[in-house]
């Protein structure tokens, strides 16, 4: 005990040294384990790389030449497809040389023309839709600038085609029509597009007629989104299971035709107009 008291400081130093050595050994062992795990991962990556280099997919000279030829062929076919789309679905050609006042008059006349087109086919349109989302420019103190006029002239041609298709489908109602991008053409590498939102109400045959007509339109349209809701409609003279003045029952097709007219559909959709061009 006297020895411990006399050499306490020395004993503390020795104990600290031993403890530090133990801790250091533990840390080094842990680091060695991490190094070993890292080495295993690296070896796997090197093995995978060597395996690819020796495989039939390796970028040897023959494969590189073949890949370049395939790319050139695909590029030629793609350019030819873009050219055909450009020729088949030409973008509207409009004269942008129009003063703001003259264009405002032209826009008003266009809206009246579209409204009459719909009403002529008994397609109902609410009063708040009569300017086809151009309400802002119908205000007395608002005039479009030259850039807006140029874009709206193109939009008007596209809207004219869409409203014509709606009228020919003879849906019951056009309850919404909106230019989603307003005065902006959304540009991509090989094409530009403008989205339009429509809400149509009618039976299934008329809604289907409109959707089919998009494939035969003057311009290139793609149906981006489509949502549908149904509402039962009470018929004044619902069909019986048999034909009038006959004992023969109705066919399944005839009953389906009656049932489709007894359901009112509300179709909400976004239709994109596309125009194509070569890479700039």
**143 in any annotated domain:** yes
**12 in any annotated domain:** no
DSSP letter string, 97-162: ---HHHHHHHHHHHHHHHHHHHHHTT-B--GGGTTTT-GGGGSTT----HHHHHHHHHHHHHHHHH
**56 in any annotated domain:** no
**198 in any annotated domain:** yes
- CATH code for position 215: 3.30.70.60
**109 in any annotated domain:** yes
Which residue, chain included where needed, has tokens 């949502």? Answer: 227
| Exposure string over 46-81, b if 16+ CB within 10 A, otherwise e | eeeeeeeeeeeeeeeeeeeeeeeeeeeeeeeeeeee
Using DSSP's 3-state secondary structure scheme, residue 53 falls into: helix
Which residue, chain included where needed, has tokens 């040389």? Answer: 97
**80 in any annotated domain:** no
Query: What pLDDT, on a 0 to 100 scale, did the predictor assign at position 195?
Result: 94
- The per-residue pLDDT string of the chain (280 residues; one tens digit each, 9 = 90 and over) reads 555 445 555 555 555 565 555 555 555 555 566 667 767 676 777 676 666 566 666 666 776 777 777 777 777 777 777 677 666 666 666 665 788 999 999 999 999 999 999 999 999 999 999 999 999 999 989 998 888 888 889 899 999 999 999 999 999 999 999 998 766 788 888 888 999 999 999 999 999 999 999 999 999 999 999 999 988 766 555 544 444 445 555 555 545 444 445 678 999 999 999 988 766 6
- Expressed as residue numbers, the domain containing 152 is 89-239+253-276
Structure tokens at 164: 């014509």
Query: What pLDDT, on a 0 to 100 scale, did the predictor assign at position 148?
Result: 87
**53 in any annotated domain:** no
**122 in any annotated domain:** yes
| Cα distance from N-terminal residue to C-terminal residue, the chain | 94
CA geometry: angle 154, 135, 185, nearest 5 deg: 30
Q: How many domains does the chain have?
A: 1
| pLDDT tens-digit readout, 158-181 | 999 999 999 999 999 999 999 987
How many other β-carbons are positioned within 10 Å of the β-carbon of residue 265? 20
How many other β-carbons are positioned within 10 Å of the β-carbon of residue 37? 10
| Exposure string over 198-212, b if 16+ CB within 10 A, otherwise e | bbbbbbbebbebbbe
What is the C-alpha to C-alpha distance for residues 279 and 276, in angstroms, rounded to an integer? Answer: 9
Sequence-distant (6+) residues with CB within 8 A of 94 are 150, 153, 154, 156, 157
């Amino acid at each position: 005990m006297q020895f411990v008291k006399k050499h306490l400081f020395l004993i503390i130093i020795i104990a600290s040294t031993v403890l530090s050595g133990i801790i250091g050994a533990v840390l080094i062992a842990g680091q060695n384990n991490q190094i070993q795990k890292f080495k295993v991962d690296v070896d796997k990556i090197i093995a995978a790389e060597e395996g690819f280099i020796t495989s039939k997919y390796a970028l040897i000279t023959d494969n590189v030449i073949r890949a370049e030829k395939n790319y050139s062929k695909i590029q030629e076919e793609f350019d030819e497809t873009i050219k055909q789309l450009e020729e088949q679905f030409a973008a509207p050609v409009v004269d942008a040389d129009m003063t703001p006042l003259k264009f405002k008059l032209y826009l008003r006349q266009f809206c009246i023309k579209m409204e009459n087109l719909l009403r002529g086919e008994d397609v109902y349109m609410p009063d708040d839709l009569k300017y086809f989302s151009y309400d802002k420019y119908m205000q007395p103190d608002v005039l479009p600038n030259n850039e807006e006029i140029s874009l709206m002239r193109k939009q008007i041609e596209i809207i004219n085609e869409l409203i014509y298709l709606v009228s020919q489908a003879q849906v019951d109602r056009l309850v919404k029509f909106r230019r989603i991008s307003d005065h902006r053409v959304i540009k991509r590498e090989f094409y530009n597009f403008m989205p339009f939102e429509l809400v149509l109400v009618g039976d299934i045959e008329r809604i289907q007629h409109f959707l089919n007509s998009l494939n035969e339109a003057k311009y290139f349209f793609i149906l981006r989104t489509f949502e549908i809701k149904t509402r039962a409609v009470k018929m004044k003279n619902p069909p019986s299971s048999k034909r009038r003045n006959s004992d023969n029952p109705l066919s399944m097709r005839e009953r389906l035709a009656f049932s489709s007219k007894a359901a009112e559909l509300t179709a909400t959709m976004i239709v994109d107009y596309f125009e194509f061009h070569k890479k700039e």
